[in-house]
Structure 1
Amino acid sequence: MADWSRVLPGALKCKRFCLRHGWTAVTVLAVFGVVMIGLGAYTGLAPGTETVTEQRGAQTITAESNVSAVVGPKSALWAEGTRLENRPAYLLRDSPNATIDARFRVSNGEFSSVDPTFRLEYRAVRDGETIWSESSPVNATVEQNADRVAATTTVNVSAVAEKIRAREADTRKAASVRATIVLEVPYETDRYDGTLVAKFPVSVDGTAYELDPASASETRTTPVQIERPTEPNVPLVVVLLTLGTLGLLGGGAAYRVTRGPSSEAALLELERRIEHARYAEWISVGEFPTDLSQELVRLENLDDLVNLAVDANGRVIYDRERDAYAVIRRDIVYYVGDRAEVVSEWQFGKVPTQVENES
């Protein structure tokens, strides 16, 4: 009964509303349903557009390198003229000169101009901070044709090692002196221009040195704003169509109620059912005896009778045959119903004109 008391009054109130405002309810629900379905169809079939930024005209400019050293006449390990490429280390006595071969390319286009340069940098570093630096250009050979853009330079690493030791002596070893070969590549393509930078650290350790290949690349694009259709908002479409369907179903139900006769008696009966459903958890169905001798008191509405039952920690008895409600307290019967039928049938004697308070 408690569950029905939550659900049934709402349904009965809707029916009451339809009886009172029938054609208005039908029109409002029908229009609402049609509008929601129309909006749902439009949202699903005619999605909007959005402005997005696309990156177009992509070009990747790349610089790659190869490091090699030619063995000189003083080597006891390799024959003179042997070329050592991309080794983890080179011996200063055997291969004092290192060569860097750099190649440049651009994807989806071609160079308008390329001007690669090499320079040799020295830095004295202490605690990660540079306290002294020096830079000097290094001669390079540039080759540029339709199929190839390249640059080559050769560095005397023995001379570099001597300069590192000399500068460390000048700083009294208060700082670490480092040498780096820097490749800078200013470029222009048919779309973009810029500069690539690749660095080749030179690490000298006693009789050997390390010089690893390096590379650099960057991708350039042009942002373009375009408009494109958006994907339909499926959850919104579902909600709109559902609301539209419910509106039409509600309009159909309201029409069924409205087209029937809506008399004052029907409305009163509906009000009674609503009130009964509201207090269903306090009401039990039963029959009233007719041979009682209690005093009879009539209350105006079921709300008062239920309050009386709650105060008395009792229940309201509903007699379907007499269509009446009653609460029996000691020798008094409080009831709600039609006085003419209930009193004459129960024969409880004179009906009081007011409710008497218990002492």
Structure 2
Amino acid sequence: MDPARALRLIAYHLERTGAATYRVRAFRRAAAVAEEAGIDELRRRAAVGALTDLPGIGRTTAEVIGQALADRDPDYLVELTERDAPELTRGQRLRAALRGDCHTHSDWSDGGSPIEEMAATAAELGHEWIVLTDHSPRLTIANGLSAERLRAQLAVLAELNRRVAPFRVLSGIEVDILADGRLDQREDLLAELDVVVASVHSVLRMPEREMTDRMVTAVANPHVDVLGHCTGRIVTGRGRPESTFDAKEVFQACAEHGVAVEINSRPERLDPPRRLLRLAVELGCRFAIDSDAHAPGQLSWLGYGCQRAEECGVSADQVINTRSADDLLALLSPSGRR
């Protein structure tokens, strides 16, 4: 096994299971150092016990490198892989049908890794594509993208896609739904993006009627493709209660306008709750099962959403990310929404 890949896999499993960020970064930094040094230099240093003289290589990472150089699966990687084996016996059929992920973040906003690293991990997981959906400008705590930064990101994606083909990174945004239902980005820029996920991130305790009007207004915007984590709830730690709105009215608007209801797979969100997910199924909505990944190790969280989707009667043909990238874009076009 390539030592740098072994170190990245360890970082991936640490990240997936919620390990401290400094531990994840230590292994990613060690992977970058190992890659820069090259196999020959690593072998030379390993032979004389000098791996730890490299910056960012400590005792544990040196042991991983040594075992990889000896054509062994590193002990620490084996341990993490076994510990990380998910107990997701349900949802596997739907998970196998997914071809991409409509909601991911990079270090351009509040994600922890470069776009290319997110793409490489997604490809290793078997994805054909991901949509990059960094935050919009008013979410300053998440380093949201101004119009100028979003346009610069589009240029970066054009170049990146030439290098990572046939894998594709589709352009997108997680745009804030403002209090009056308007979207937090210029309409002309939203029109250029492949996929727009619209989410409520502020004033989550708005009265029910006002919140309903806010969400329906956003869903009716022709640029919106996915309604993100609709209740805004947090189910771990101190938690956060659901926003209150007329779910039937909101989901009917989604069905009418061809907007997918997101099944958010983040373990702290698992949004929408099952009762609302079943309602959306009854009303004939489309769905997007998304990781909302802010780091490479979180891209595999899709299984949590798939499990809940199958429990609530969501079929593969109702899920927009079971399609190829080209078929997805056709589905989200004005003619595909009708």
Greater per-residue strand proportion: 1
Q: TM-score under structure 2 normalisation?
A: 0.22
As a proportion of its length, which structure holds more helix?
A: 2
TM-score with structure 1 setting the length: 0.21
Higher relative contact order (CA 8 A, sep 6+): 1
